[in-house]
Amino acid sequence: MAEALMRHKVLNAGLADKIHIDSAGLGDWHAGEPPHRGTRQILDTNGIKYDGQRARQIETSDLTMFDYIITMDHANFERVEALLISNNDSEWPVLRPMMSFVENPFEDIVPDPYYDGRYSYVYELLDTACDALMQSLKNEHGL
């Protein structure tokens, strides 16, 4: 959901040639699958395209290919941080939780709606967080 929503915002801002977005999970259990039915439904409702999106597992090359790695919750943050440490690379990407871009967030993680069906709630969180991330990128990089 975050990938599709952020792509939409980047495209609408005319920054698709400057900002590359991808997403990956730590597990491989859904690798190759399209977004979950609940995610597709909320994205369709909001006119957000997700064509061609498929789940994939994070790879070591992601740790050096991207300037930013954004996580949805604390456990994923810690696991990605451990991957970065074990990769022993001297230059890390910016690693931040998604909700850390939001000033005074009412939630500090983005919960996984797969378990509780709160796709609309997660969409609202991500919509706010993606706007804040976009503003942060514009400010930091003069976009």
CATH number at residue 35: 3.40.50.2300
Share of the chain above pLDDT 90, in %: 80
Q: Which residue has the tokens 């797969």?
A: 114
109: containing domain:
2-141
- Global confidence as pTM: 0.92
| Domain count within the chain | 1
Look at residue 131 and tell me whether its pLDDT is greater than 70: yes
Q: What is the per-residue pLDDT across 76-100, written as a single tens digit (0 to 9) for each?
A: 999 999 999 888 766 789 999 999 9
Q: Is 1 exposed, middle or buried (0-12, 13-18, 19+ CB in 10 A)?
A: buried
Q: Cα separation of 53 and 5, whole Å?
A: 12
Q: Retrieve residue 47's tokens.
A: 């006119």
